[in-house]
Structure 1
Amino acid sequence: LIALLCFTLSEAMAQHYHHTETQVKEQHLHADSTAEAHTNQHMAMSHSFSLNLPMSRNGSGTAWLPDASPMNGVMFHTPKWMYMLHGNLFVRYNNQDFNNKGTRGGSEFDAPNWLMFMGQRQVGKNGQFRFGSMLSLDAPLGGGDGYPLLFQSGEAYKGKAIVDRQHPHDLFSELSLSYSHAMSQKTDVFVYLAYPGEPALGPVAFMHRPSALANPDAPITHHWIDATHVTFGVATLGFRYGKFKVEASSFTGREPDEHRYDFDKPRFDSFSGRLSYNPSKNWALQVSQAFVKHPEILHAGDIKRTTASAIYSVELGAESRLNATAVWGMNKAAHHDAENAALLEGEWSYKKLALHGRYEWVQKGIEELSLDESVFGHDAVFPVNAFTMGFNYDLFDIAQTKLAGGSQITFYNADGRLNNLYGKNPMAIQFYLRWYPRLM
């Protein structure tokens, strides 16, 4: 269904884009209209929250990517609006314990996916209005308990914590509106309202990072660094000066419930702040902290979450790129030691081939892994390491999109106390077809 929808939209957009392009070429025959057309095109291609920044800096929510980041998507224009469609669909076989080391691995065919549609237009000389949306068919295609992923944790299904599986995302993962105003070339202010959406916390979410686009798995560090990317109720106020941006958000701390097609109660009981800095076109840096009110439905308690990240992007040649991300995150609950997580991931592409890798280290407690306190103790923490490497190769061009084939393998290493459940050094393997928009 999502593939059919995206294909139909991409075909329509492609036809509209070429039609508009022909009109623009005809307009260029008239000298008086050339400058105006160029100015309008420049404004339409601007960043979602600034008329004076490039569109390539757009990430998820209000987070920044490097200006040198590649942009995948299908874009089309009307006289006043710019629209863009972006998405990712994997159809795969996923085996999370193919060497049969433990009892917690699973295997199945599944289809992680998401689709984004956004539009923006200039308002007056210095203003800009934007809407954003993101949809996911994770639940209808993969079930309410998500897909197998060893050592993953977070959210609940049928009264039980989801463990060793990645929870599905809600059908409506973002519905947002924003307005930004350019006070000068160096200075912008903006407001972002979403239900659901993403507060100013952490780096660009994993599914929108160029370093992670070819990897179908969510990080097992997800709930330490970027899990708030689907939050039912967000209000963010931001201010940019030059290369710096400061933001503050009020949002709902409770993570989405198991009903993936409805809208959860907005609470606005949590808050966050983020400082972002892009020193050059190749780097995007951020630090952020949040008080998150009662995030887990089944586990009482508030969390103080702190993150820091660096995202790097560089073009190595006409057909080669390198994208990399490093993130640290920490969750601190009352009366518990802080639990830390770190992630390093990257993707190198050349023509039709892309190689990707990810290393993660995370401290998971009793609650995250649903373990027996009487056996391990109330404050037990288990360090987990995961290393993934894989490839993605473009097979066909379809309209404005590409169909690729790929595979990846993950090696896990966890605390020896978990060997009876997970085995020693379990391994996961995947084979998939990937459908996604072309590079713009």
Structure 2
Amino acid sequence: MLFSRLLLAGAFLAAGAFPALAAEPTMAPMPGMPMSTPAPTATASPESSPPSATPAPASGMDMSSVHYNANGVMSMHGMAGMHMEMSTMDPATMPSVTDVGTPMTREGSGTSWMPDADTAYAHMFGRGDDMEMTHGALWGRFVHTATPRGADALVAPGWLMYMRTHPTSAAAQVGLRAMVTPDPFSVGGQGYPLLFQSGEQWHDQPLHDAQHPHDFVSELSLTYSGRLQNAHSASLYVGYPGEPALGPPAYMHREIAYDLASAPIGHHWQDATHITFGVVTAGIASTKFKAEASAFTGREPNEARYNFDPVHLDSHSARLSWNPNAFVAAQASYGFISSPEALAPLLNVRRSSASVLYTRPLGFDASWTHALVWGRNDATDGERANAFLYETEYRRNGNAVFARFEQVQKSGMELVLAPPLAETTYYLGAYTVGVVHDLPHRSGKTVGGMGLSVTLNTKPAALNAAYGAGAPVSFDVFYRLRSAPLVGQRSSR
């Protein structure tokens, strides 16, 4: 099994992960567009703003259209043929795919908001009036979990996303998002080892101590949005699959996810609805607030990872998002999820969530990011459980250090333990630290990196019979490919 995973991971890595990640646009460069752009030179910024970086203007560029925003980032306005004011150098002036009234810098998973100051690791290009973007990542990972319930595995999880906007008028647009993953065949139906993880099933048995693979098509969504009066906008998002307005931006879309591939063990308390087969979300937003509501399918994806599951809009949620400035994104949300687990069809869950994300830019491809996330499940069988997460990453000069600390309540039944252990709820911990070093690469090209993470898991002594005595230690050695950062911006995916 390990040898076959090695061959599979090697094939993906030798192919350059996903070809679209390394490919350069075939169209002629537009003025100011980050195509094979030389590395920028850092410049000083006002004391009230974070340090930034600005590339030298392209030869022949009309500098009368060049402006600098509050962060010292260069942008261009009034380009010929554009129906809307768009900037290829500063995504803060470009519309989000999911809402024409908010900036591209806030683009998260589904319709969620990220901090404006996040770095965008992506390839961006244009086609007529349309904006197009691809981004993604792929890992070759050796995972070791040392307990009687642990395992070793060589896997290659990853994802690739395509986004496009098409203006329908000066105040409205259609947005398309499509996301795919090799997980079903590069990870396998049983998932990868992850102590204390739970949720979904394989061969009609509940998974435990493993993160399930994601569906091959992880998002396929359309959005129609338009500007309203008084700097407001309205949007309608339809996904099959997609993500409802519930929880924070999914872990795969947060900044740390480009270096830390493992899912949080509180995933099914916080953001597990990021792949839902059938979602309709309506929202209204201002420059700092967004209120939205969703109807969606409560059942989680089945173990057939290549198909499209049935649509049953039997669940609902609501979320309030708040971005008070360029560095912070906060949300609070609540949802009713009908029969999420196929193996417990009569069990419904009420999920509550709150989160705060903070990003402090430190220069080109340099930042310090933080995330605080709380999630709670109230099940109809009476079980109430909380999950708390803090994660952080400091990146500078091609190196990064990161950490994720979690405390989660899980029942013995959730962990697939036999009675009497199944009848108790336990406090579990996962404390991960890691480092990544980016390998030399050409500007604007796909970036490779080598890294290592170590996780200390904590548990009560009552679980020694299942997991062994003491605090288990796991580690993960990996090679990672990701998109390059967009030049001269401080933006989000």
Into which bin does the TM-score normalised by the smaller protein fall? over 0.9
Match of residue 343 from structure 2: 298
Aligned to 2:19: 8
Equivalent position of 1:403 in the other structure: 448
Give yes or no for contact 1:2–1:137 (8 Å, CA) kept in 2. no
Sequence identity (%) = 37
Bigger RCO (CA 8 Å, 6+ sep): 2
Query: Of 297, 300, 308, which residue of structure 2 is paired with 1:263?
Result: 308
- The yes-or-no answer on 1:234 pairing with 2:279 is yes
What's 1:37 paired with? 80
Q: TM-score, normalised by structure 1?
A: 0.93
Letter in 1 for 2:27: H
Q: State the distance in 2 between where 1:406 and 1:40 align.
A: 44
Aligned to 1:358: 404
Instruction: Show the counterpart of 1:394.
Output: 438
- The answer to whether the Cα contact below 8 Å between 1:272 and 1:288 also exists between their aligned partners in 2 is yes
Structure 2 partner of 1:59:
108
3-state SS, counterpart of residue 267 of structure 1 = coil
Q: Distance in 1 between matches of 2:403 and 2:82?
A: 41
CA offsets 1:224-245 (integer angstroms, 9 cap, x no match): 0000000000000001123110
Distance 1:291 1:29 in 2: 53
Give the Cα separation in 2 of the matches to 1:332 and 1:30: 58
Residue 95 of structure 2: aligned partner: 46
In the other structure, the counterpart of 1:371 is 417
Range that drifts further, 417-426 or 37-46: 37-46
How much has 1:213 moved relative to structure 2? Answer: 2.5
Q: Which runs of 5+ in 2 are unaligned?
A: 1-10, 36-57, 66-75, 88-93, 487-493
Counterparts of 2:121 and 2:238, CA distance in 1: 25
1:348 counterpart letter in structure 2: Y
SS at match of 2:439: strand
Q: Output the CA distance in 2 between the equivalents of 1:167 and 1:377.
A: 21
Larger fraction in helix? 1
Distance, in Å, in 2 between the alignment partners of 1:79 and 1:158 is 48
**Deviates most, 301-310 or 121-130:** 121-130
Instruction: Describe the shift of the 1:319–1:205 C-alpha distance in structure 2 as closer, same or farther (beyond 3 A).
Output: closer
Letter in 2 for 1:354: A
Q: 1:95-127: per-residue Cα shift (whole Å, max 9, x none)?
A: 011xxxx31011111111111111112211110
SS at match of 2:86: helix
Q: 1:318 Cα deviation (Å)?
A: 4.6
User: Is 2:132 the counterpart of 1:132?
Assistant: no
Contact 1:275 1:287 in 2 (8 A): yes
Structure 1 residues 11 and 213: CA distance shift in structure 2, 3 A: closer
Once the two structures are TM-superposed, the CA of residue 269 in structure 1 deviates from its matched residue by: 0.6
Equivalent pairs, count: 433
> In 1, Cα distance between the equivalents of 2:191 and 2:218?
15
| Partner SS state of residue 389, structure 1 | strand
Structure-2 separation of matches of 1:404 and 1:39 = 37
Deviations 1:229-286 (A, max 9, x none): 0000000000112311001000000000000000001111100000001111110000
Q: Give the letter for the 2:439 counterpart.
A: L
- Partners of 1:185 and 1:337 lie apart in 2 by 45
Shift of 1:366: 2.4
Which residue of 1 is the match for residue 217 of structure 2? 172
Matched AA of 2:86? M
Does the residue aligned with 1:37 lie in a helix, a strand or coil? coil
Cα 1:207–1:400 change in 2 (3 A) is same
> 2:134 maps to what in 1?
85
The alignment partner of 2:400 has SS state of strand
Deviation at 1:294, TM superposition (A): 0.5
Pair 1:66–1:158, CA change in 2 (3 A): same
Q: Is the 8 A contact 1:137 1:171 kept in 2?
A: yes
Identify the match of residue 375 of structure 2 among 290, 304, 329. 329
Task: Identify the residue that residue 155 of structure 1 maps to in structure 2.
Answer: 200
Which deviates further from its counterpart, 14-23 or 130-139?
A: 14-23
Contact kept in structure 2, 1:17 and 1:77, CA below 8 Å: no
What corresponds to 1:430 in structure 2? 476
1:46–1:25: structure 2 CA closer, same or farther, 3 Å change rule?
farther
Shift of 1:43: 3.0
How far is 1:26 from its partner?
A: 6.2
CA distance in 2, matches of 1:226, 1:17: 40
Could you give the per-residue CA deviations for residues 337-376 of structure 1, whole angstroms, max 9, x where no partner exists? 3100000001000111011000000001122101123x23
TM-score, length basis structure 2: 0.83
- Deviations along 1:40-69, whole A, 9 cap, x unmatched? 574362222333432111000000001111
User: Partner residue of 1:289?
Assistant: 334
Would you tell me which structure has more strand in proportion to its own residues?
1
